[in-house]
């Protein structure tokens, strides 16, 4: 099977993007995997530090590797938004396919220093692990927000992105180009596609769009045309899971079998993921 690095390259050549979806449990994984399998497209499972602690590092690596190797399906695992070298290193050691060092709250110099440390460590291993990093603040937390948080949405400057990539040697960059983490009740700004194209050109590496929940369809399609190769979605599937679970519990007050109570939540996640994957992969 091709590596994640090869799948990202292929996505760029085809003018599509790989969907990246976060999970907190096995139901989330089933919903995402069912959708990707139905459409026969590669998919990335993301675990933030909190999600990773809840699911378990080894458990997550075990589940994804088994699916990939036994089912021969291109499903990959990413350590999403990890905030220290030690956490990134632990995920690399555990066998993740990709890691994200998130140093956006640090000074540029400190961000460069730790990002480079992560890249050097990844390269020192015998694993083909992709290292991604973020530049420009797009807010934090996959949750529902009334308005855009203060300080979020400051767009990445192409010259700074170029310098950052040159100084760190990262494989992929998550720039701030208009999206914000979470579902914003008042709506999200449009993706700045000219900026995406400019950053892709000057950095020469694949770009990852974070904060995908709540964006308009044309923002995804135009952003992908402009140079986005991976799109992250989390809040939309959290919300779908949450609503389906509450409904299931309310409608079946006497049911105690978790696999029965949780089935509608799996299906709700699958539905959201299927729609997003169709859009990202240009499928009808
Ligand atoms: O890394 C995770 C994503 O960027 C998710 O963003 O919650 O707005 O979909 P979202
Ligand atoms: Zn993100």
* CATH fold for domain 4-280: TIM Barrel (3.20.20)
Nearest CA to ligand 1 atom 8: 211
Q: Which of 45, 234, 236, 240 has most ligand 1 atoms within 8 Å of its beta carbon, as the pocket-test mutant?
A: 234
Nearest-ligand number for the alpha carbon of 102: 2
Atom of ligand 1 nearest to the CA of 81: 1
Confidence label for 231 from pLDDT (cuts 50, 70 and 90): very high
Contact 85, 121 (CB under 8 A): yes
With cut-offs at 50, 70 and 90, classify the pLDDT of residue 236.
Answer: very high
SS3 for 232? strand
| HSE of 134, CA atoms in CB hemisphere, 13 A | 29
3-state SS, residue 43: strand
Under the banding of pLDDT at 50, 70 and 90, the label for residue 35 is very high
Q: Tell me the domain boundaries of the chain.
A: 4-280
Question: Region 223-248: what's the mean pLDDT?
Answer: 98
Which pLDDT tens digit goes with each residue over 133-157?
Answer: 999 989 889 999 998 888 777 899 9
Contacts of 169 (CB under 8 A, 6+ apart): 116, 119, 123
- CA–centroid distance, 80 to ligand 1, in Å, is 10
Contact 182, 142 (CB under 8 A): yes
* Residue position matching structure tokens 């799109």: 231
CA distances from 262 to 25, 168, 245, 284 (A): 11, 43, 6, 29
* 212 C-beta closer than 6 A to ligand 1: yes
Hey, which residues are catalytic here?
Answer: 80
Question: How many Cα neighbours within 13 Å face the side chain of 24?
Answer: 12
pTM: 0.98
């Amino acid at each position: 099977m091709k590596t994640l690095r090869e799948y990202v390259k292929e996505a760029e050549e085809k003018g599509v993007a790989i969907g990246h979806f976060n999970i907190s449990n096995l139901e989330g994984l089933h919903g995402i995997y069912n959708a990707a399998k139905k459409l026969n497209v590669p998919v990335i499972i993301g675990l933030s530090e909190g999600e990773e602690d809840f699911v378990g590092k080894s458990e997550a690596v075990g589940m994804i590797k088994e699916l990939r190797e036994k089912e021969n399906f291109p499903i990959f695992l990413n350590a999403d938004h990890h905030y220290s070298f030690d956490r990134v290193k632990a995920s690399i050691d555990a066998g993740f396919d990709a890691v994200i060092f998130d140093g956006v709250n640090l000074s540029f110099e400190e961000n460069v220093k730790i990002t480079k440390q992560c890249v050097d460590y990844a390269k020192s291993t015998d694993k083909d692990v992709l290292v991604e990093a973020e530049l420009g603040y797009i807010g934090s937390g996959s949750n529902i927000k009334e308005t855009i948080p203060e300080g979020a949405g400051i767009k990445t400057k192409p010259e700074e992105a170029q310098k950052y990539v040159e100084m760190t040697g990262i494989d992929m960059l998550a720039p701030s180009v208009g999206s914000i983490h979470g579902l914003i009740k008042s709506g999200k700004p449009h993706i700045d596609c000219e900026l995406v194209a400019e950053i892709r050109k000057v950095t020469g590496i694949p770009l990852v769009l974070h904060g995908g929940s709540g964006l308009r369809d044309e923002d995804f399609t135009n952003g992908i045309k402009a140079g986005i190769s991976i799109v992250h979605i989390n809040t939309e599937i959290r919300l779908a899971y949450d609503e389906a679970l509450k409904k299931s519990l309310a409608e079946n007050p006497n049911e105690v079998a978790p696999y029965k109570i949780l089935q509608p939540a799996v299906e709700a996640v699958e539905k959201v993921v299927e729609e997003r994957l169709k859009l990202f992969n240009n499928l009808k």
